[in-house]
Amino acid sequence: MHASHPSLRRVGVVAVVVLVTGALFTPPSNAGSAPGIVRESFGATAEGPVHRYTLTNGKGMRVRILTYGGIIQTIEVPDRRGRTTNVALGFDNLTDYVERNPYFGCITGRYANRIALGRFTLDGVTYQLPINNAPNSLHGGDVGFDKHIWATSPFRRDGNVGLVMRYTSPHLDQGYPGTLTTTVTYTLTRGNAIRMEYRATTDRPTVVNLTNHTYFNLAGEGSGSIENHTLQLDASRYTPVDPTLIPTGSLDPVAGTPMDFTRPTAIGERIRDDFTQLVIGRGFDHNYVLDRRHRTGLQRAARVVEPRSGRVLTILTEEPGIQFYSGNFLDGTLVGTSGRMYRQGDGFALETQHFPDSPNQAAFPSTVLRPGETYRTTTIYQFGTTR
Ligand code: BGC
- SS3 track for the chain: CCCCCHHHHHHHHHHHHHHHHHHHCCCCCCECCCCEEEEEEEEEECCEEEEEEEEECCECCEEEEECECCCEEEEEEECCCCCEEECECCCCCHHHHHHHCCCCCCEECCECCEEHHHEEEECCEEEECCCCECCEEECCCCCCHHHCECEEEEEEECCEEEEEEEEEECCCHHHCCCCEEEEEEEEECCCCEEEEEEEEEECCCEECECEECCEECCCCCCCCCCCCCEEEECCCEEECECCCCCECCCCEECCCCCCCCCCCEECCCCCCCCCHHHHHHCCCEEEEECCCCCCCCCEEEEEEECCCCCEEEEEEECCCEEEEECCCCCCCCEECCCCCEECCCCCEEEEEECCCCHHHCCCCCCCEECCCCCEEEEEEEEEEECC
With a 6 Å cutoff on the Cβ, whether 323 touches ligand 1 is: yes
List CB contacts of 63: < 8 A, sequence separation 6 or more: 54, 55, 72, 74, 75, 76, 186, 188, 194
With a 6 Å cutoff on the Cβ, whether 25 touches ligand 1 is: no
pLDDT of residue 350: 98
- Please name the residue whose Cα sits nearest to atom 5 of ligand 1: 102
Taking the centre of ligand 1 as the mean of its atom positions, its distance from the CA of residue 117, in whole angstroms, is: 16
With a 6 Å cutoff on the Cβ, whether 357 touches ligand 1 is: no
With a 6 Å cutoff on the Cβ, whether 103 touches ligand 1 is: yes
Atom of ligand 1 nearest to the CA of 108: 7
Beta bridge partners of 212: 107
Atom of ligand 1 nearest to the CA of 113: 7
- Please name the residue whose Cα sits nearest to atom 8 of ligand 1: 285
354 is catalytic: no
5 is catalytic: no
- Please name the residue whose Cα sits nearest to atom 6 of ligand 1: 325
pLDDT of residue 279: 98
pLDDT of residue 34: 85
pLDDT of residue 295: 78
pLDDT of residue 374: 98
Which of 139, 148, 213, 354 is an active site residue?
Answer: 213
pLDDT of residue 13: 32
pLDDT in tens, the chain (387 residues): 333 333 333 333 333 333 433 333 333 445 567 899 999 999 999 999 999 999 999 999 999 999 999 999 999 999 999 999 999 999 999 999 999 999 999 999 999 999 999 999 999 999 999 999 999 999 999 999 999 999 999 999 999 999 999 999 999 999 999 999 999 999 999 999 999 999 999 999 999 999 999 999 999 999 999 999 999 999 999 999 999 999 999 999 999 999 999 999 999 999 999 999 999 999 999 999 999 888 789 999 999 999 999 999 999 999 999 999 999 999 999 999 999 999 999 999 999 999 999 999 999 999 999 999 999 999 999 999 998
Atom of ligand 1 nearest to the CA of 328: 10
Atom of ligand 1 nearest to the CA of 138: 12
pLDDT of residue 27: 37
pLDDT of residue 11: 32
